[in-house]
Structure 1
Amino acid sequence: NNQCSKLNSKLNRYGVHVNIYEDDFIGLRLCQNSINNYCCPQSYENKIQNATTIELYQSFEFYSINLYESLRRITVQLNETIIKLIESSRNETHFILQHNYKTFYSFYRSSIDLFFNNFLIITYKTYPYDIKNNIEELFRNILRITITVNNGNKPILPSYLLCLWRNQPFGNRQYLIINQLEINLGKLFHLNELLKLSNELVQTMSMVS
């Protein structure tokens, strides 16, 4: 009774035990067309179902863990990539200002760092609002610093700065930058959020199963 012995060995791996019957056992042809057309005893029916369920669960659990680990690794790599992009942009901005705007660079430097530091803490839920405010704050600081330096570092009235700002001294440049950042960073934020949701889904499915 070789085939039923093999099946019984499989069942035993999952703690399911049945007795092996003799070859002349007359019972339900449960395993016909499943194990070389050999007839297995009727008592195997529920045992096979239980063992198969356990096997499927263990397979699902195994692949869920692998999928979760892959998603988690990709999420970490994406976050690291976003940080590297921001830091690379920061360094490039400092390089350009230092070589082309030497007079103002020392004054602009802290505003540039503040600008990029704010980008490091932007979140998915508020990124359009945060990007807009961050860009506007940078341009306001540039305007204030430029006028102050050109005016011999004399104090500038807030009302005067507000009037200048309302007249759009930078034209539409700030809005172009805002739109471009919303598109490019938005894609990264959406991808990052998708990976987080996928992680949560896999975890939930593993717990339910």
Structure 2
Amino acid sequence: MSLNNYVKEIAEYAEVCYKQIDAINSVLSGEISKENLRNIAKRHYAEIRTFLDIKIPERMRLCPPNAYSAKQYFWYLYREEQGFFKPGENHAELFLPACYALGLSDEELEKEYQAYWPHYKYMFNLTPSTDVFIRELAISTAWESFSPIVGPHLIKALKKYDIGDDGLKYFTLHYEVDQRHGNQAYKTLSDYVINTDLQSIAMDAISDSMLKNNYFDFKL
């Protein structure tokens, strides 16, 4: 993967940030209770739906007119997350068996989603600009590249609680998908982060998203 030096440093910084998220550390350590797994699953379901309904569409809107590779990236991401628009194949639906296997109900999941998505209403009011665009692209890049790191550990944790293949399908699929997403995201970021000012915007965005407002913060 060919990245410029600004983005290589961003990738290193994102990895430092991952390691400071308590919920992720508990997964990586292998010491996670079923109740905490339920909380993570419930929140992740809300995040997937918010990602599909708000985050990706708004990020496409916020791309400047000439940000061609970024628009291609977000469209590529949207199509895959939507299961290429096949019934029952979008990633929120694919995640449901894992939620059910952990004992979560449709009512609990819907309640979590309705409480969670309003935290991202601010995106509707953003105006396209270079700063905004770099910020949103950096956030997307950091989270997409993080998923392949934690995915195998989540699979192990779920197997520990006798979650079957149907419940694991989302994670096995997403592990492969997110490796592609993460690589493509960093390549795309390299097209735009070409100086230290833009690098600072990207790093500040990643810090805000992962350390101050990360979606595993269950106070959100």
Both structures adopt the same fold (TM-score exceeding 0.5) = no
Question: How high is the TM-score relative to the length of structure 1?
Answer: 0.29
Q: Whose relative contact order is higher, 1 or 2, with alpha carbons under 8 Å and at least 6 apart?
A: 2
Question: How high is the TM-score relative to the length of structure 2?
Answer: 0.28
State which structure, 1 or 2, has the greater radius of gyration over its C-alpha atoms: 1
> Which protein has the bigger helix share?
2
